[in-house]
Structure 1
Amino acid sequence: MKPEYLHNIATDLGLQFDSEARVMYGEREGFLLVIEGTETKNVFNISFSAKQGSEGDLIEEGKDIWDDLKTQSKAIHAISFNDYLTTVVVKGGMTKGKAVETLWTAIQDIVDFLLNHQFVQVNAATGEEEPIGLYQIGDTIYLIDDATFQDYHAEVQDTVQAYDDRKENFLLGIVGAVIGVIIGGAVALLVARLGYVSVLAGAALGFCTIKGYEILGKKLTKKGVVVSAILMVLTVLLVNQLDYILFLMDEYALPFDVSWSLFNEETFKGNFPENYFLELGKLAVFTLGGAWISVQSALEGKKNRAIARKIA
């Protein structure tokens, strides 16, 4: 979901919005709530860190009481737990107005539940009842105290430094990218043979190529991205060509080498199949578009790896 859309929802709910982490947050009756959009429009996650004051650390036993909340609230779709962090899934509806209305209902139901069952806010990492804040470390949001954040921050710095200290192996990176592009290209060819073009196939191509370079090359650099991009463009051209060649094999019962030679001879003469460039264009737009999404995701992940900051 776009940051502007999330910001408008946060404003309507009386919450704060952090554009960098793309999260809405605010305090209700002593509980810090964090709302994140998901990949599905108008589906949101509401997270908070709490435990029952009377039950201490008996988190496993306390999970059963959440069934009542899920059953009674029309706004709550699912509830999951990660130690002391609870995440509630809310389906907001088709429109922004309905999303705001459903989120408001879910927030009220959650807060009423926490108060009625004598929950207290705690550090999500330790379970200790103490003042906490909202922190971003990498791509993840944490409800922890400053001391825990400093420990996590040190770990992040060590991880980032270790990655930066790796020596890139450019040649092995190319080998890895070639292996990845073969795997991703096979997926794209399979989808093309079924008569479709798909952004998801392109995303698979991009992910496999970039990840292949990073695994064997030890680290992802601008050189690796350029090499991977060139390989992906060449792969799209090859996939389009192989799609037509496999069609000739099926249609005229020709062996692969004959179909390959026949197709190439005709195209070199300028005798292209009907709609050849249209099909190539569609394949390039959708497949390379999906691949670029994967490349952007990899680059953002590399950039976000070093993030460690307090939001609130």
Structure 2
Amino acid sequence: MLKEKLRSQILGGSLQDFKTHLSGLYKGFYITMDAAQAQYIIKISVNPADAADMAALNSFLSNHQLNEKKLLTAVTGSHSIILTIKVPSLAKNIPNTVNGIVEPIIDYLISHTFSSGCSECGTDMEQINCYEINGSHYFLCDGCKNKIQSSLQANQQEIQSKKSSLVAGLVGAFLGSLIGCILWVLIYHLGYIAGVAGAVTAICAMKGYAILGGHLDKKGVIGSVIIMLIMIFFANKISWSWDAYSALEEYGWTFTEVYQDLGYILEETDLVASYYGELAIGYILTIVCSARSIINAFHESTGSYSIKKVN
């Protein structure tokens, strides 16, 4: 996850690098550190003596956040602290930033007799292990890990039992995708090929499918993606037709005629390669921009989950 030189400077090098995250025990507290979109998510497992201790901790964290500009959020669960830290622009500043934010919190916890254990139930009487659950990391006892796994299994079964209305869903996907297509045409008219418009097309198509289809299941995601690809083709054709119409309007051409005869116009102006080249670039940018949303939607549509012990 980090170069060894940087890792060794974070919290005294106590966190082990597992490539996807850092985790370990620092001054008696279980800590995990995940990277996500120019941010670090740091979880500290804490076990207060009573509710008053957590109230005082929340007050301390609020003041701490005011003093640390890189500390974006600091929230507590019943047995955890979750910090969101903005990653410094210079990698060499990462250790100082993380240490400057986390060290005062650890010192506070020690001075106020907090302990550390399972981040769900707080127990420190059982063996505590680090688990990766759907890409995030937590220190848990076996009992809480089993409860979470059972909950994920039940959720998966519930999701897979739901069925969508394919025809109504595809109509919804078509209507939703129109928003992205309009955005594509408008951005193209400004002189850009907009992958972000393709991503909006995908998201709106899936949302439309879910609304009219009743549920976004696996076939809904696949159908929405197919409609997205088709609609982008037409959005690109409309964009080119718009440009061609601007040039041919004075010769008596209507937009409908330009749209219908665009293939002929492209051949006559030797722009066929440019047309399909831009379409290919548009598809590539769309896939890049929308891949994460599509993959996440597919996983959610099947209720799939992952949970594994980190060695």
Give the alignment's TM-score, normalised by structure 2.
Answer: 0.76
**For structure 1, which segment, 70-79 or 260-269, has the greater mean C-alpha deviation from structure 2 after superposition?**
70-79
* AA at the equivalent of 1:135: Y
Partner amino acid, structure 2, of 1:161: Q
Rate the CA distance shift 1:126–1:293 in 2: closer, same or farther, 3 A.
closer
Correspondence for 1:267: 263
Distance in 1 (alpha carbons) for counterparts of 2:112 and 2:139: 21
Task: Select which of 25, 32, 35 maps to 1:34.
Answer: 32
Check 1:226–1:177 CA distance in 2 against 1; reply closer, same or farther (3 A cut): same
Deviation at 1:8, TM superposition (A): 8.2
Q: Distance in 2 between matches of 1:7 and 1:188?
A: 44
1:94-114 deviation per Cα after TM superposition (whole angstroms, max 9, x unaligned): 343332443344443332232
Alignment check: 8 A CA contact 1:171 1:217 kept: no
Q: 1:237 to 1:272 in 2, by over 3 A?
A: farther
Residues 11 and 301 (structure 1), Cα distance of their counterparts in 2 relative to 1, 3 Å cut: farther
Confirm or deny: 8 A CA contact 1:91 1:99 kept in the other structure: no
Q: Distance in 2 between matches of 1:138 and 1:69?
A: 30
Determine whether 1:207 maps to 2:206.
Answer: no
Q: State the match for 2:88 in structure 1.
A: 93
List runs of 5+ in structure 2 lacking aligned partners.
none
Find out whether 1:108 has 2:130 as its counterpart.
no
Match of 2:152 among 145, 156, 159: 156
Alpha-carbon spacing, 1:6–1:234, altered in 2? closer, same or farther (3 Å): farther
Worse overlay, 44-53 or 155-164:
44-53
Shift of 1:295: 2.0
Letter in 2 for 1:29: K
Whether the 8 Å contact between 1:206 and 1:292 is mirrored in structure 2 is: no
Please tell me the root mean square deviation across aligned C-alpha atoms, in Å: 3.7
* Deviating more after overlay: 234-243 vs 186-195: 186-195
Residues 91 and 162 (structure 1), Cα distance of their counterparts in 2 relative to 1, 3 Å cut: closer
- Deviations for 1:4-56, whole angstroms, at most 9, x for unmatched residues? 5588865764423445xx3321111111111111212xx31211132543x54
1:306 aligned partner: 305
Shift of 1:307: 2.0
Q: Distance in 1 between matches of 2:177 and 2:31?
A: 42
**1:242 CA displacement:** 1.9
Give unmatched runs, 5+ long, in structure 1: none
Q: Determine the structure 1 residue equivalent to 2:141.
A: 145
Q: Specify which of 50, 54, 63 is matched with residue 59 of structure 1.
A: 54
AA aligned opposite 1:110: I
Q: Distance in 2 between matches of 1:113 and 1:61?
A: 10
Q: 1:175 aligns with which of 171, 176, 187?
A: 171
What is the Cα deviation at residue 194 of structure 1?
3.6
Q: Contact conserved, 2:46 with 2:114, CA < 8 A, in 1?
A: yes
**Identical-pair percentage:** 19
Change (3 A) 1:144 1:214: same
The one-letter code sitting in structure 1 at the alignment partner of 2:76 is F
SS across alignment from 1:46: strand
Residue 280 of structure 1 aligns with which residue? 279
For 1:3-82, list aligned pairs within 5 A.
5=2, 10=7, 13-18=13-18, 22-40=20-38, 43-53=39-49, 55-57=50-52, 59-70=54-65, 76-82=71-77
Cα offset for 1:259?
A: 0.5
Write the distance in 2 (CA, Å) between the matches of 1:279 and 1:229.
20
For these two proteins, the number of residue pairs brought into alignment is 301
Residue aligned with 1:119, SS: coil
Match of 1:120 in 2: 115
* Structure 1 residue 67, shift from structure 2 partner: 4.1
For residue 134 of structure 1, what is the aligned residue in structure 2?
A: 130
Tell me what 1:289 maps to: 288
Relative to structure 1, the CA distance from residue 224 to residue 6 in structure 2 (aligned partners, 3 Å threshold; closer, same or farther) is: farther
Partner of 2:186: 190
The alignment partner of 1:44 has SS state of strand
Write the letter of the residue equivalent to 1:16: Q
Is the Cα–Cα contact under 8 Å of residues 216 and 301 in structure 2 kept in the other structure? no
